[in-house]
Amino acid sequence: MHTENASGVRCFQTMVPMRDGIRLNTFVFLPESGGPRYPVILHRTPYGITSPEAQSVTDCTRAWLPSAKEPFRGSILRGWRRIVAHGYAAVYQDTRGRYGSEGEDHVYGDDATDGYDTLEWIANQPWTNQMVGMSGSSAGATTTFAAASQRHPSLRAFFIQVGGSSIYDAECWPPPGTTPRRFYLRGDGSLTAVGPGGAPRHYVYDPRQPIPTRGGRNMLIDAGPRDQRPVQALPNYGVIYRGERLTEDLTIAGAVRVTLHVQCNCRDTDFVAKLIEVEPDGRALLLMDGVVRAMYRDGATEPQHLLPDHVYRLTIHLGDIHHTFRAGNCLQVDVTSSNFPRRARNTNSGNPVLAHDTEAAIRVATNTVHHADRTPSFVELPVLHP
């Protein structure tokens, strides 16, 4: 254990084991006095707790300390002094496959279970009173939401900044007063709570011309609530569904899911869903997005190839959010089939390993979204009532 001379704060670095044996790089800071058990603030991040310059991003043998002479520095570690000054232990952790942590980075895919396992590890340490709060912004907010969804008994509160929302503090997630509400994607391009209806809509997806990434929960590429109009204007972008202008504020807090009934003339393809807020001036600001590879729908571990005359139901998980849509703005859901380079383009070949596909394997897909009563497509929003 290292002691910081100026403050007397104790610090140590350790590799915390997850349930599958992967170890995650973790820093712990303990107050100079008080204790021996402290409340804890946990921060899990893909940005690097001690390496702020994207150096050795996935090399756990080199990325955990930028300088042996400055073990208390780093962009994420800047807040530890204030935390311990208030009598809390501060715990910082690199997420799986990032910087000093082992394993493969699945872009938030492991953060629910890894977050739970980290909370379990903290609960078993002699320096904690088993009262933990989590904090984070941007990607750190996503890792916090993921951990909170597992409802570990020691997690008592979390403090996050997501999109246009303010910092949120809650003892449970989703918060009390939240109910799911469906908005249906209709054949005329509208988005409404009234119900499904309308003819199917089609679009072409050519893997040789994927739709570029513009904003979202990214790490090393352009991130945030970016205006989607430049990509929406591209040929064969996809299909867009827009609601009426809101007459009052609408707050959502929790998980967002888009369920589609789809069809494709290829053995495989991707379906990407975006939740967007449209401002009065026309800006279409991306709030969150998600993707499903169609032949691995419903969590399948083996390929389930598509048949061209079949309609399939699939659900796209966009993640968790706390956000208020302002009166006068519109809800919008976009459906497309690529988000490159954030997501590797699907060649539509039906081959499990897309990286092995050659130019000859690429197929151009015609993708269809259905809207009938028996094949509805909808977004489910967790509406928070005042």
Q: What is the pLDDT of residue 72?
A: 46
Instruction: Give the pLDDT confidence score for residue 60 in this predicted structure.
Output: 44
Task: Specify the CATH class of 2-170 in words.
Answer: alpha beta
**pLDDT tier for residue 198 given thresholds of 50, 70 and 90:** very high
Higher pLDDT, 90 or 9: 90
- pLDDT value for 219: 58
Secondary structure of residue 292 in the 3-state scheme: strand
* Percent of all residues in the chain with a pLDDT value above 70, rounded to a whole number: 85
For 78-89, what is the mean pLDDT? 83
Q: What is the pLDDT of residue 353?
A: 85
Q: What is the pTM of this model?
A: 0.66
Q: Does residue 368 have a pLDDT over 70?
A: yes
CATH class of the 178-384 domain in this structure: mainly beta
What 3-state class would DSSP assign to 8? coil
d(CA 38, CA 23): 24
Contacts of 268 (CB under 8 A, 6+ apart): 293, 294, 295, 303, 305, 306, 346, 348, 349, 350, 351
Greater pLDDT, 34 or 239: 239
Mean pLDDT confidence for 164-182: 72
Residue 270: pLDDT over 90: yes
Cβ contacts of 347 within 8 Å, gap of 6 or more: 207, 354, 357, 361, 362, 363
Residue 375 structure tokens: 């094949």
More confident residue, 169 or 35: 35
Given a cut of 70, is residue 288 above it in pLDDT? yes
Q: Residue 78 in 3-state DSSP?
A: helix
Question: Given a cut of 50, is residue 316 above it in pLDDT?
Answer: yes
Judged by average pLDDT, the poorest of 169-173, 231-235, 247-251 is: 169-173
Given pLDDT bands bounded at 50, 70 and 90, which one contains residue 109?
Answer: confident
Find the mean pLDDT for residues 113-135: 94
Long-range CB contacts (within 8 A, 24+) of 196-201: 196/371, 196/372, 196/373, 196/375, 196/376, 196/377, 196/378, 197/371, 197/372, 197/373, 198/371, 198/372, 199/371, 200/263, 200/368, 200/369, 200/370, 200/371, 201/239, 201/368, 201/369, 201/371
The model's pLDDT over 35-47, given as tens digits with 9 standing for 90+, comes to 789 999 999 988 7
Q: What are the φ and ψ backbone dihedral angles of 146, each rounded to 5 degrees? A: -60, -45
For the chain, the structural domain boundaries read 2-170, 178-384
pLDDT in tens, 148-168: 888 899 998 877 675 444 445
Instruction: Identify the pLDDT of residue 190.
Output: 98
Where does the chain show beta strands of DSSP type E? 2-3, 10-17, 23-30, 38-45, 89-94, 128-137, 155-161, 168-170, 178-185, 191-192, 201-205, 239-242, 250-264, 270-278, 284-293, 312-325, 330-336, 365-369, 378-384
pLDDT at 216: 84
User: Is the pLDDT confidence value at 269 over 60?
Assistant: yes
pLDDT at 108 over 80: no
Cβ count within 10 A of residue 264: 25
